[in-house]
Amino acid sequence: MKSDVLKKFQTTIMGGAIIIGLAQVVSRLLGLLRERMLASTFGAGETLDIYYAAFKIPDFVFNIIVLGALSSAFIPVFMEYWNRDRDQKKSSFESFKIANSLLNAILLILVVVGIFVFLFTDQLVSLVAYGFDEEKRKTTAELVRIMYVSVLFFGASNIVSGVLHSFRRFIAYSLAPIMYNLGIIFGIIVFVPEYGIKGLAYGVILGALLHLVVQLPSVIRSGYKYKLTMSLSLPGVKKIGKLMLPRAFGLGVTQINQVVITAIASTLVVGSVAVFSLANNLQYFPISVFGVSLALSAFPVFTQAFTENNTSKFVLHFSQTFRRILFLVIPTSIVVLLLRAQIVRLVLGSGNFDWEDTILTAQTLGFFSLSLFAQSLVPMLARSFYAFQNTKTPVIISVISMVINVVGSVILVQSMGVLGLALAFSIASFVNMILLLAALRARLGDLDDHRIITSTLKIILLSLLMGLVVQGLKYVIGPLVDMKTFFGVFIQTAGSIFGGGLIYISLAVKLNFDEVDIIKRFFQKAKNQFSNSHK
């Protein structure tokens, strides 16, 4: 009975979002622990510059080859063929043949590309981190060669994730990033003392392997069976290939953008790559917990609405998801902006991560926080187009955003240093969101505009009131505790967030926010389902 309730729970948008969101919270908390351990062990210096720069090349390959297929093409096409197989009651599912063919093709491509990467690592590193000296480039190249092995595991794992996502088996799917972070943490604790900086790369490989292994039992129970086949002539495979090319190009543009930003940061003072990466990872916490989790859980429903040619259903779920994201992210962005120094001190401020590192990272985080709402909406807006099997529009918009980011970075770093990178990133993210929203509205017309605008204005007003409370409590609590200790900073931060959050939720309930009612109805429904299953 419990398993039936859980299965039904994870197939709803809100249920899937809660499962993904909770897992994202755990994963991101582990990610913060990972960042704290890295900062404490190495500080914002050469070692972390090398570590983060080394990630760029494996990430580039993974995002173009694997993520390009999974995020935009595989899930809609797989669901289309799965529904057809199920309706026709076929004994041999073509949808699984498509999954196996794509998996094997991706692994083969990754091996071929891997040979190229191994042969030309030094030249690639010179492009990614041209501001590094010869010794730093050599060490970076060594890490790239080790880390690339993880891409093979991620290639297989993400196709498995796509199958689970299509079936809305969000529990196993959501455990994967948790295991990935645990692998890296294990590497920091066990491998680094033995192998030095290479231990970090070994931890990445372990995490990628665990990312795959934890999903296998669930995907096997779904009926999927792996076969060594590669039928590239299947219509479904051809369709995925056609759909993924624009998305792969768009991700390539995004990755080139990341490479350029890393290259620019490598020319700044030592530690700039680390500071930018640490601040970026911190700001991604609320984006992944709120924006990404809601976008991922809504994607299958968006896709189903498209296959049913039901625009009103799409608009309904789009509006709800849009407003939920803003309801959670706008107040969060204000909290991050007001408590940026405290957040950095709590998460990273220990060991070799000194006060100067803390201040610079906090300032960088502040500029990132300006676009948290935009960054959180982009995953859902992009997936709205993917659900329509339109991958070209997000690609064109991502190219425009990349150009703005790169040009802005080159201009702003002249006077702002690493802070200019974060500000340019925020400006580009805002443009990305606006253009995606405008393009979607041009295609579908009214997206429940009145309700979205009304809710947004109310959320902004409440968030500003909450911000006043947070700022006031910050100054009230500060003199009452020892701000030189972790405990003192924690009390100030927690007290300010609790007081501000209490005001925000209370006013939201008082004003009868739809988002609060939706969440309350969901939990009541979940409670009733759970109670009925035990009768």
User: What secondary structure, in 3-state letters, does 364-427 show?
Assistant: HHHHHHCCHHHHHHHHHHHHHHHHCCCCHHHHHHHHHHHHHHHHHHHHHHHHHCHHHHHHHHHH
Q: Is the pLDDT of residue 335 over 90?
A: yes
**pLDDT for position 1:** 46
The whole-angstrom separation of Cα 65 and Cα 382 is 18
The Cβ of residue 92 has, within 10 Å, a number of other Cβ atoms equal to 7
Q: Is the pLDDT of residue 142 over 50?
A: yes
Contact indicator for 291, 379 with CB cutoff of 8 Å: yes
| Contacts with 362 (C-beta within 8 Å, 6 or more apart), sequence order | 279, 340, 341, 343, 344, 345
The whole-angstrom separation of Cα 226 and Cα 273 is 41
Average pLDDT for residues 451-456, to the nearest whole number? Answer: 90
| Percent composition of the chain: helix, strand, coil (DSSP 3-state, to 5) | 85, 0, 15
pTM of structure: 0.77
pLDDT band at 534 (very low <50, low <70, confident <90, very high): very low
Both tokens of residue 300?
């299958």
Find, among 157, 164, 378, the residue nearest to 250 by Cα. 378
**pLDDT for position 465:** 95
Average pLDDT for residues 156-179, to the nearest whole number? Answer: 83
Percentage of the chain beyond pLDDT 90 is: 37
Q: Is the pLDDT of residue 157 over 70?
A: yes
Q: Give the dihedral of Cα atoms 478, 482, 484, 485; nearest 10 deg.
A: -110
Q: Which of 1-10, 232-241, 288-297, 422-431 has the lowest mean pLDDT?
A: 1-10
| pLDDT tens readout for residues 187-204 | 999 999 999 999 999 999
Percentage of the chain beyond pLDDT 70 is: 90
**pLDDT for position 522:** 55
Q: Is the pLDDT of residue 436 over 90?
A: yes
Q: Is the pLDDT of residue 524 over 70?
A: no
**pLDDT for position 132:** 87
The whole-angstrom separation of Cα 117 and Cα 112 is 9
Contact indicator for 370, 59 with CB cutoff of 8 Å: no
**pLDDT for position 211:** 93
| pLDDT tens readout for residues 456-511 | 999 999 999 999 999 999 999 999 988 888 899 999 999 999 999 999 988 988 88
pLDDT band at 41 (very low <50, low <70, confident <90, very high): confident
The whole-angstrom separation of Cα 75 and Cα 304 is 11
Most confident residue range from 14-28, 106-120, 346-360, 514-528: 106-120
Q: Which residue has the higher pLDDT, 179 or 67?
A: 179
**Mean pLDDT over all residues of the chain?**
85
Find, among 228, 264, 24, 221, the residue nearest to 127 by Cα. 264
Q: Is the pLDDT of residue 530 over 50?
A: no
Both tokens of residue 378?
């982009």
| pLDDT tens readout for residues 81-91 | 877 766 665 54
Most confident residue range from 177-186, 380-389, 446-455: 177-186
| pLDDT tens readout for residues 234-282 | 888 888 887 777 767 777 777 788 888 888 888 888 888 888 888 988 9
Q: Which of 2-11, 123-132, 258-267, 291-300 has the lowest mean pLDDT?
A: 2-11
Average pLDDT for residues 316-341, to the nearest whole number? Answer: 92
